[in-house]
């Protein structure tokens, strides 16, 4: 299969918004409470300076009579109630957003995981595992950032600034107009500056993902790096990735500093102009001392809110960029999917038929050409051939990890594209050449073949696969964790655990892809006995390079160049000559040596 570009296009902002709004729509009442809480909080913050204005006007009269003092106490009590209302609104808002965000983020994480796992093997072979896990995590985190920014920053800012402009306009139209025009212009400027800087943010985000991918790739292949003494090489590759991220970060952060400098000048100019005009209005007797308190309270809050838009926009766009990576994956159609009305596979006998199958990874890489093969129910069939002939591709097509580009694949007469993938794979046990285990206990890894299996069934399967012996030798026995991808076990031990898992599954169709390749001669002998029991009453497909393991198969199919070159029993194929005889001759020396050892 040709190498693929791991980079995927980003989704549009509309797509991100559509996905998040759909998630929010599941909890409309919580969202409604959040909106009402935000509105109530801004009303309280707009109202408080009005009572402060009256309070300072009364104090500035310098007439501390009992009536005035009583009035001041009344204003103070009212102000306290306004502050309390604001405090209550804030608590309601924060409590609501905590519940809303946590539940929605959980939904997004689970749904993105579910959709991601539904992608085809082709999709995953073109991606870095570390990058995918990071995208899933950032997808949920981005929702929190976006909702926080909108409901705790943008929406409250709009409400407060609009209210402040209206209140100041009632005191003096010129003050309201100046504040409104300044807020609109500064907001527009910030949006323009943020859009100008956004490409730098996107580049930085992409380089950050590449660093994560490079790190995961190197760590995941640490053994290979060590065995090939390529630590310096990996260090140089990772350092180069980090250096690209550093340069992108410097450019992005430098742009931020320029923006903050421009905003600081705008804020200072607006405050001086507003106070200058206010002084003139005070001289004319239009404004009072309390109005200066009102103006300053609104100005400071407005400045803080509007200027913070720069920081909030940066977080907003960054979160949008993060979310777009995962949304692009959610928008990408599954390479393999169930057709509408797909039925459950019913395996009564286990007969398999490939009719005129064509398969190619792309237009320039054809693997199978007009390939037809019929496997009888209960037949033990072996596929042999040189590397790249198409042996493993046949089994992957049967498991529907890939769809054929032509022809049909049938099991007991049922076309596999018309049945559910889950029922298809539930009826096939597959033991790969390089089994990958979960970083879980041995018991959990074996039980994966049958989730409701009892401990006794697990131990029985382990004994049949001859892995009970080495498992019993571990201090924690079946509760021993095997490490990521099973690295704490040897290759042969991993293979035997995988075989135990297949034994426990006990599906009517069995595929063995070099299932004994990682075993030494003694272990292979034990496993061959277990496989004989496992294969009883099943339709079996065996892929093997070691021809000694398939001598007793009912039929051997020789694959060459995506076509059937020959077929028959072991003895028949040796008599015919051809590719099978050639392969046998190459390996015959080692087979004879094995026979001498057995004698």
A 10 A CB-CB count for 67 gives 9
Q: What average pLDDT does the structure give for the chain?
A: 82
Q: Exposed, middle or buried by CB within 10 Å (0-12, 13-18, 19+), for 62? A: exposed
DSSP label at residue 547: G
| Rounded to 5°, angle at Cα 442 from 437 and 443 | 120
Measured distance CA(445)–CA(458) in Å, rounded:
10
Measured distance CA(15)–CA(11) in Å, rounded:
6
Q: How confident is the model at residue 363 (pLDDT cuts 50, 70, 90)?
A: low
Mean pLDDT of 531-535: 75
Please say if the pLDDT value at position 40 is more than 90: yes
Q: Higher confidence at residue 518 or residue 475? A: 475
Measured distance CA(243)–CA(144) in Å, rounded:
30
What pLDDT was estimated at residue 93?
A: 92
Please say if the pLDDT value at position 594 is more than 60: no
Q: Are 350 and 508 in contact (CB under 8 A)?
A: yes
Please say if the pLDDT value at position 90 is more than 80: yes
Radius of gyration of the chain (CA): 35
CB neighbours of 597 closer than 8 A, spacing ≥ 6? 521
Measured distance CA(185)–CA(193) in Å, rounded:
12
Please give the distance of CA 404 from its chain centroid, rounded to a whole number. 28
DSSP label at residue 334: P
Please say if the pLDDT value at position 372 is more than 80: yes
pLDDT digits (tens, 9 = 90+) for 291-306: 788 888 888 888 778 7
Please say if the pLDDT value at position 485 is more than 60: yes
| Closest C-alpha among 156, 198, 181 to residue 313 | 198
What pLDDT was estimated at residue 593?
A: 40
Please give the distance of CA 246 from its chain centroid, rounded to a whole number. 25
* Full-model pTM: 0.69
Q: Higher confidence at residue 369 or residue 205? A: 369
- Identify the bridge partners of residue 541 per DSSP, sorted by sequence position: 381, 511
Residue 116: its H or E element: helix 66-117
| Rounded to 5°, angle at Cα 469 from 466 and 471 | 105
Q: Are 185 and 280 in contact (CB under 8 A)?
A: no
| Closest C-alpha among 504, 512, 480, 495 to residue 437 | 495
A 10 A CB-CB count for 550 gives 20
pLDDT digits (tens, 9 = 90+) for 416-435: 999 998 899 889 888 887 77
């Amino acid at each position: 299969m040709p190498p693929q570009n791991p980079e995927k296009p980003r989704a549009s902002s509309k797509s991100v918004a559509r996905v998040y709004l759909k998630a929010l729509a599941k909890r409309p009442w919580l969202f409604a409470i959040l909106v009402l809480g935000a509105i109530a909080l801004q009303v309280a913050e707009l109202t408080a300076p009005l009572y402060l204005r009256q309070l300072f006007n009364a104090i500035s009269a310098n007439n501390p009579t009992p009536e005035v003092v009583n009035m001041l106490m009344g204003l103070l009590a009212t102000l306290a109630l306004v502050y309390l209302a604001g405090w209550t609104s804030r608590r309601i808002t924060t409590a609501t957003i905590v519940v809303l965000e946590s539940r929605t983020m959980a939904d997004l994480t689970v749904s993105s995981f579910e959709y991601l796992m539904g992608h085809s093997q082709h999709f995953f072979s073109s991606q870095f595992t570390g990058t995918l896990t990071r995208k899933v995590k950032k997808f949920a985190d981005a929702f929190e950032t976006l909702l926080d920014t909108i409901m705790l920053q943008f929406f409250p800012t709009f409400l407060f600034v609009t209210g402040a402009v209206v209140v100041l306009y009632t005191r003096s139209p010129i003050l309201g107009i100046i504040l409104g025009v300044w807020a609109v212009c500064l907001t527009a400027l910030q949006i323009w500056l943020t859009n100008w800087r956004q490409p730098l943010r996107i580049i930085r985000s992409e380089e950050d993902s590449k660093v994560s991918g490079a790190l995961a790739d190197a760590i995941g292949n640490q053994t290979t790096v060590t065995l090939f003494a390529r630590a310096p090489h990996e260090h140089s590759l990772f350092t180069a990735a980090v250096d690209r991220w550093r340069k992108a970060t410097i450019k992005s952060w430098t742009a931020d500093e320029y923006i903050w400098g421009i905003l600081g000048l705008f804020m200072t100019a607006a405050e001086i102009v507003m106070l200058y005009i206010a002084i003139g209005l005070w001289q004319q007797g239009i404004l009072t001392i309390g109005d200066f308190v009102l103006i300053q309270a609104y100005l400071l809050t407005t400045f803080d809110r509007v200027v913070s838009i720069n920081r909030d926009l940066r977080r907003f766009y960054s979160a949008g960029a993060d979310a777009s990576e995962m949304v692009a994956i959610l928008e990408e159609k599954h390479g393999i999917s169930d057709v509408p009305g797909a039925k459950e596979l019913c395996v009564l006998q286990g007969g398999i038929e490939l009719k005129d199958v064509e398969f190619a990874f792309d237009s320039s890489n054809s693997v199978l050409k007009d390939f037809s093969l019929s496997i009888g129910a209960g037949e033990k069939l072996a596929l042999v051939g040189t590397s790249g002939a198409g042996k493993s591709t046949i089994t992957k097509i049967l498991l529907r990890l890939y769809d054929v580009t032509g022809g049909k694949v049938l099991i007991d007469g049922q076309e596999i594209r018309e049945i559910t993938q889950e029922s298809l794979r539930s009826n096939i046990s597959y033991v790969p050449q390089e089994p990958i285990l979960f970083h879980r206990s041995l018991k959990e890894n074996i039980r994966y073949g049958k989730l409701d299996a009892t401990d006794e069934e697990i131990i029985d399967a382990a004994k049949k696969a001859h892995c009970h012996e080495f498992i019993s030798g571990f201090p924690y026995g079946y509760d021993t964790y095997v490490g990521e991808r099973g690295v704490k076990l040897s290759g042969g031990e991993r293979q035997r655990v995988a075989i135990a898992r297949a034994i426990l599954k006990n599906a009517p169709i069995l595929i063995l892809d070099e299932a004994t390749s990682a075993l030494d001669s003694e272990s292979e002998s034990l496993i061959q006995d277990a496989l004989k029991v496992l294969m009883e009453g099943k339709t079996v497909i065996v892929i093997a390079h070691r021809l000694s393991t398939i001598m007793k198969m009912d039929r051997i199919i020789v694959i060459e160049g995506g076509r059937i070159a020959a077929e028959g029993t072991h003895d028949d194929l040796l008599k015919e000559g051809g590719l099978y005889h050639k392969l046998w001759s190459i390996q015959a020396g080692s087979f004879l040596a094995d026979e001498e050892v057995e004698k």
